[in-house]
Every structure is written in structure tokens, then in C-alpha cells.
């Protein structure tokens, strides 16, 4: 219960952040990615200020014995720079560049009730299922 | 250059950073939205389904609250429609699954962990997205 409340609160803060920073707006994202057009550096300010908190905070927090509401930290364990990592980033980059939407802004954007966002999120979920099957096939 | 949203970018970005710190401090988890979503769609009851659903619900609620607090609709100008939107969604879903993360998990959290995988992923998807936008808007258009 406590963990769910904490996650709910974090989700609300994240969603507010995406809306206030306008990262929820594909036009802002494409404006940043379009370096030969009328460049919009807002996305860089967003990533920079988010990283200012996480770069300093993460090492301080993981120094603790355990998180406040859990027995241990659950952090990614993979270390290798492998083909799935790179090819996944390439596919994601193409999709991101085509629509200006990545998972966080797309999900938060559902609050707009825009049908296009629902279409994108449905396709993204289908894409994750395909990705899971590909992962299984590659692991064999 | 388009006028950047400096205040919104800095405040919003800070909120995103603070949210990621809260998740690590309280739950000991990385705030990777594509990964949180995967845990829900695969209905994995042994891996924190309730907190995942709560976070995703909060994400949407945060965007609802924005509209109430500021009394205006969400800033949203779609840049693709129809088949293109479906194709983009499929690629984002597949890519984030295969590549173990997206802008939040790799870009904001992974880089903060000084993870080489996340740094390589972020540089790759940013560069590919820039090339994609260049090709679709200036070469093929």
C-alpha cells in the first residue's frame, strides 16, 4: 500500500513535470530534434535540469543500505554493450523522430483524450509484445 | 530558432528529476517508463504490479492536474497521424523493449548511474531521431 502511494505520488510529479516542460507536446520534441530547422532547445533544458538532480542524488541514495519502503535496491544488472541494446535504441530513435512521442509523454498525454495519442499508445503496447517475442527468440 | 520554454523546461525537468529520486529513495527502483509499462502489460504479479499501475495512473493524473491547476488544455500539437503514428508507436514499443529502456530509464536515470549501456543507448537514439527528422522533414518531404 505504501509503495503504491509512493509510486502514485512520483507518477503525479513526473506527469506534472512532462506537462509543465511541454515535453508532452510532440511539436516541442520535433523542434529539438530538427537541428536544421528552427531549433528549439527546450528538451535540452528539461534533460539538463532532470539530470542535475539525478546525477547528484543517485549516488547519494544508493549509498544507503536499502530504500525506505523496500528491502533492497532493484537496479539493472546487464553490463554488456550488445546488439539488442543498439538495435533497440535505433528502432526507438526512428519511432521517436517520426512522431515526437516517447513512452512517458505518450502515456501522460492520454489525459488530453486526443485519439491520436490513444492510437500511438495502443501501437506502442503492441510493439512491446513484439519486442518481448524478439527477445525470447534472441535468447534461444 | 523557436522561442524555448525556459521556465517551463527548467521547472518541469526538475520535477522529472525529483520524481526519479523519489522512486529510487522510496522503492529502490529506476524510473524507466517503458519498463514500468512492460511489467503491466505482461501482468507479472510477482514483480510489483500495484506500484507499476499506481505510477502509470499518477503519470496520467499529473497531466490531468496540470489542466486543473493552470486552467488550460495540455500543450499538444500532433506531428504525425494515421499509419505513421501506428508505425512510430510500434517502433517505440519494440525498440524500448529490445533496448531495455527509453528517455527516462536510460536518459535520465541510467546516465545518472554512469551506466555505459545507458550512455550508448541515449547517444544512439538521440542521433537516430535527429537523422530521422532530417530525412523525413527536409529530404523526403
B49: alpha, beta or left? (left if phi > 0; alpha if psi -120 to 50): alpha
A40 and A81, same domain (yes or no): no
In whole numbers, what is the pLDDT of chain B averaged over residues?
96
Q: State whether A61 and A86 are in the same domain.
A: no
A86 and A128 share one domain: yes
Interface mutation vs chain B, best among A59, A91, A122, most B CBs within 10 Å: A91
Q: How far, in Å, CA of A123 to CA of A65, rounded? A: 40
Are A110 and A118 in contact, with CB atoms under 8 Å apart?
yes
DSSP tag of B29 = B
Mutate to test the interface with B, among A55, A76, A109 (most CBs of B within 10 A): A76
0.95 surpassed by pTM: yes
The three-class DSSP label of residue A116 is helix
Query: Do the beta carbons of residue B5 and residue A19 sit within 8 Å?
Result: no
Name which of A19, A26, A74 is nearest B79 (Cβ-Cβ): A26
Q: Is the ipTM of this complex over 0.95?
A: yes
Closest chain B C-alpha to A72 CA, distance in angstroms: 7
pLDDT value at residue A138: 82
Query: What tens digit of pLDDT does each residue of A35-47 get?
Result: 987 899 999 999 9
Q: Where are the domains positioned within chain B? A: 6-139
The string of pLDDT tens digits covering residues A64-92 is 999 999 999 999 999 999 999 999 999 99
CA B60 to chain centre: 13
pLDDT of residue A140: 77
Among residues A45, A75, A105, the one where a domain terminates is A75
Of B22, B24, B133, the CB nearest to A58: B24
Number of compact structural domains in chain A: 2
The verdict on A71 and A2 lying in the same domain is yes
* pLDDT band with cut points at 50, 70 and 90 for residue B92: very high
| Domain around A140 | 77-140
| B18-77 pLDDT tens trace | 999 999 999 999 999 999 999 999 998 888 999 999 999 999 999 999 999 999 999 999
The answer to whether A140 faces chain B, any CB pair under 8 Å, is no
- The C-alpha atoms of residue A1 and residue B51 are separated, in whole angstroms, by 8
| Partner A, chain B 47-66, Cβ-Cβ below 8 Å | 48, 50-66
- Per-window interface: A 74-113 vs B, CB < 8 A: 74-76, 78-81, 84-104, 106-112
Amino acid at each position: 500500500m505504501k509503495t503504491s502511494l509512493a509510486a502514485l505520488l512520483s507518477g503525479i510529479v513526473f506527469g506534472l513535470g512532462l506537462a509543465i516542460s511541454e515535453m508532452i507536446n510532440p511539436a516541442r520534441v520535433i523542434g529539438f530534434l530538427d537541428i536544421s530547422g528552427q531549433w528549439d532547445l527546450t528538451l535540452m533544458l528539461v534533460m539538463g535540469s532532470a539530470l542535475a538532480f539525478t546525477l547528484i542524488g543517485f549516488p547519494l541514495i544508493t549509498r544507503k543500505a536499502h530504500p525506505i519502503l523496500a528491502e533492497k535496491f532493484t537496479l539493472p544488472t546487464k553490463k554488456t554493450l550488445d546488439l539488442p541494446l543498439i538495435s533497440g535504441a535505433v528502432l526507438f530513435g526512428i519511432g521517436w523522430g517520426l512522431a515526437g512521442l516517447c513512452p512517458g509523454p505518450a502515456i501522460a498525454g492520454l489525459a488530453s483524450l486526443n485519439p491520436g495519442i490513444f492510437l500511438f499508445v495502443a501501437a506502442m503496447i503492441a510493439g512491446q509484445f513484439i519486442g518481448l517475442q524478439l527477445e525470447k527468440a534472441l535468447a534461444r | 530558432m523557436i522561442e524555448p520554454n525556459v521556465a517551463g523546461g527548467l521547472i518541469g525537468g526538475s520535477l522529472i528529476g525529483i520524481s526519479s529520486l523519489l522512486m529510487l529513495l522510496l522503492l529502490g527502483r529506476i524510473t524507466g517508463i517503458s519498463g514500468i509499462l512492460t511489467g503491466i502489460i505482461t501482468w507479472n504479479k510477482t514483480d510489483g504490479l500495484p506500484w507499476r499501475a499506481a505510477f502509470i495512473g499518477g503519470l496520467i493524473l499529473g497531466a490531468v492536474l496540470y489542466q486543473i491547476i493552470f486552467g488550460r488544455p495540455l500543450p499538444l500539437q500532433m506531428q504525425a497521424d494515421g499509419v505513421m503514428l501506428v508505425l512510430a508507436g510500434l517502433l517505440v514499443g519494440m525498440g524500448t523493449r529490445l533496448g531495455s529502456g527509453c528517455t527516462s530509464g536510460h536518459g535520465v536515470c541510467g546516465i545518472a548511474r554512469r551506466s555505459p549501456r545507458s550512455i550508448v543507448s541515449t547517444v544512439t537514439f538521440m542521433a537516430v531521431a535527429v537523422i530521422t527528422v532530417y530525412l523525413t522533414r527536409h529530404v523526403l518531404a
